[in-house]
Structure 1
Amino acid sequence: MINKGLSRLGVFFLYLVSLLPFWLLYIVSDCLFFFLYYVIGYRRKVVQENLANAFPQKSVEERADIEKKYFKYLADLILETVKMVSISKEEMQRRLVCTNPDVVKEYEAAGKSVTAVAGHYCNWEWAGAEFSINAPLFVIYKPLSSDVFDKFFIKVRTRFGAVAVAMKQTLRTMVAHKNEFTVTVFAGDQTPVREQTNYFTQFLNQPTAVFLGIEKIAKLIDSAVIFYDMKRVKRGYYTYTIVPLVENSKDSAPHQITEAHVKYLEGMINREPQYWLWSHRRWKFKPEPGEMPVK
């Protein structure tokens, strides 16, 4: 009961923070950056190790520069995500612009459902929220351990019409809506648990375990596969472009879809690395001898 009460108090605090105007929100973000980076050193060793493995060709100074820029952006990302609690549709669409929204409309006109893949890059939460304003959207998510915060973030993600689907319910949901036009968004850079890993690929200069679920579900419903290519224009403003990867999933070769979305994300990260979630423990394990060969 005490933990639940504290969680509810935390949710109320987040709501109050979300009411702050953007100019004040970013002052809070600057303070949060100082605290995360200089005071507690939040996961700095994880970030440094990830950057060293991903960019061995870069100098120590170059990687340190990316690290600092990442933490500055992480603070903004945290506060921008909190802002989703109360931001209006109009404000969201002013700050986040899709450069080619007609792509999905064309798929809908053709009766072709869409599997959308995003990475933990730029403000992926804003992209999902803004997209759901004008299109039916299923958002696949991993439930949180706290029931209070889980319900809170589901409410935030579905404010503008999206439907949140727990990861374990994905297949059942897709089968139930197989004959309808749907857009389903997945995070393509989640780490599978060791027991469910049966495919590795080369990602950011190292063998990386990858979920095959995106590919399996896309093939099941024969959807088109697209990628959200996000760019940060300036503080608090973004664009995203819908990039078609595979038109007809059923006709794709084994692992073609998986390799396509992994490589596209890798290109985005190489372009502006500070906007990826480097504090995530992405490489928890490596392939064992005799496992599926790394490509």
Structure 2
Amino acid sequence: MKFAFLFLKFLSRFPVATLQKWARVFGFLCYWLVVPRRKVGQRNLALCFPEKSAAEREQILREHFYHMALLVLEYGRYWYADAGSLKAAVRYQDKEILDKALANKEKVILLYPHFTAFEAAVYALNQDVALTSVYSHQKNVELDKQILHGRHRYNNVFLIGRTEGLRAIIKHIRNSDAPFLYLPDQDFGAKDSIFVDFMGVQAATITGLSRIAKMTDAKVIPAIPTRQADGTVILRFYPAWDNFPSEDVMADTQRMNDFIAERIREQPEQYYWLHKRFKTRPEGEVSVY
């Protein structure tokens, strides 16, 4: 593990353009060698894009492996590179939406789905805005220590352990001005989840966005990072949602999934397809993997 950290530190010296070239090679190799994850990606894409041909879905997946490879190779930059270079690689779009809400002392939840440039964007944003987020501790102690060190490099973030639960999240949001960075689009199991549509498939989805917004009177402002051809990233902020939360938790959760699905269709190769998003099935259904 220490060798891996040294290698990432070595990579942090190189510009993004160089890492992009290496990511093409690394991504190609991973596509062929990491067979279990390739199969997960193929299955996810088949479920979510049945209207596309097998060749079209395969092209998306190959490109996705490139973006995932670039994400991994860039961790050295996130942890070790000059903060100014990280900031320069990210451009904001419509950030005044967030700035206005914070200036008005409003509580904010940043809806932040798992697109592959999410780390690059957040390491820039956290230089300008204090953030709160949930953190899942890693089984490997050295990796856990390094990730936490990286997260805290600006002394401008508060991390809540996933095992601390909803109560700790609510308490912190109520007592802090920092936006809550919310990444809900993974399968966390049946507990605290309901089944709603996600790109045509019933998916176990946590209801936290609606519940947290209601309990903290927070505005939901989506933020979507998009990697550009030159390696830079655009972080786009969307208008705060009107009439959210409603009195219908299921409708609120469906609204969230529908929004994420719309963004995925705009850049399918940059969404995180290697996670078993549909692992938890409604009672009586067989596994899709």
TM-score norm. by structure 2 comes to 0.89
Deviations 1:69-104, CA, capped at 9 Å, x for gaps? 111222112112332112323222221111122212
Q: Whole-Å Cα distance in 2 between the matches of residues 60 and 174 of structure 1?
A: 44
CA drift at 1:245: 4.2
Which of 264, 274, 278 is the aligned partner of 2:273?
278
CA drift at 1:179: 4.0
1:193 counterpart letter in structure 2: G
1:219 aligns with 2:214: yes
Q: Unpaired segments of 5 or more residues in structure 1?
A: 1-6, 291-295
Deviations 1:27-51, CA, capped at 9 Å, x for gaps? 3322312320234446211111111
Deviations 1:195-219, CA, capped at 9 Å, x for gaps? x054111101100010112322221
1:185 aligns with 2:220: no
Q: Whole-Å Cα distance in 2 between the matches of residues 246 and 28 of structure 1?
A: 40
Question: What SS does the aligned partner of 2:80 have?
Answer: coil
**Counterpart contact for 1:188–1:262, Cα < 8 Å:** no
User: Which residue matches 2:48?
Assistant: 54
Which of 55, 59, 64 is the aligned partner of 2:58?
64
1:246 aligns with 2:249: no
Q: Whole-Å Cα distance in 2 between the matches of residues 210 and 188 of structure 1?
A: 7
**Counterpart contact for 1:245–1:261, Cα < 8 Å:** no
Query: 1:18 and 1:42, CA in 2 relative to 1: closer, same or farther beyond 3 A?
Result: farther
**Counterpart contact for 1:208–1:283, Cα < 8 Å:** yes
Query: 1:250 and 1:49, CA in 2 relative to 1: closer, same or farther beyond 3 A?
Result: closer
Q: Which moved more, 1:214-223 or 1:164-173?
A: 164-173
Query: 1:47 and 1:198, CA in 2 relative to 1: closer, same or farther beyond 3 A?
Result: closer
1:21 aligns with 2:24: no
User: Which residue matches 2:73?
Assistant: 79
User: Which residue matches 2:223?
Assistant: 228
Q: Write the mapping of 1:8-47 to structure 2, written as runs, cut at 5 A.
A: 8-41=2-35, 43-47=37-41
Q: Whole-Å Cα distance in 1 between the matches of residues 140 and 78 of structure 2?
A: 19
CA drift at 1:59: 1.0
1:94 counterpart letter in structure 2: A
Question: What SS does the aligned partner of 2:272 have?
Answer: coil
Q: Which moved more, 1:275-284 or 1:240-249?
A: 240-249
Question: What SS does the aligned partner of 1:84 have?
Answer: helix
**Counterpart contact for 2:41–2:273, Cα < 8 Å:** yes
Q: Whole-Å Cα distance in 1 between the matches of residues 14 and 249 of structure 2?
A: 48
**Counterpart contact for 1:199–1:212, Cα < 8 Å:** yes
CA drift at 1:273: 0.7
Q: Unpaired segments of 5 or more residues in structure 2?
A: none
User: Which residue matches 1:207?
Assistant: 202
RMSD: 2.3
User: Which residue matches 1:268?
Assistant: 263
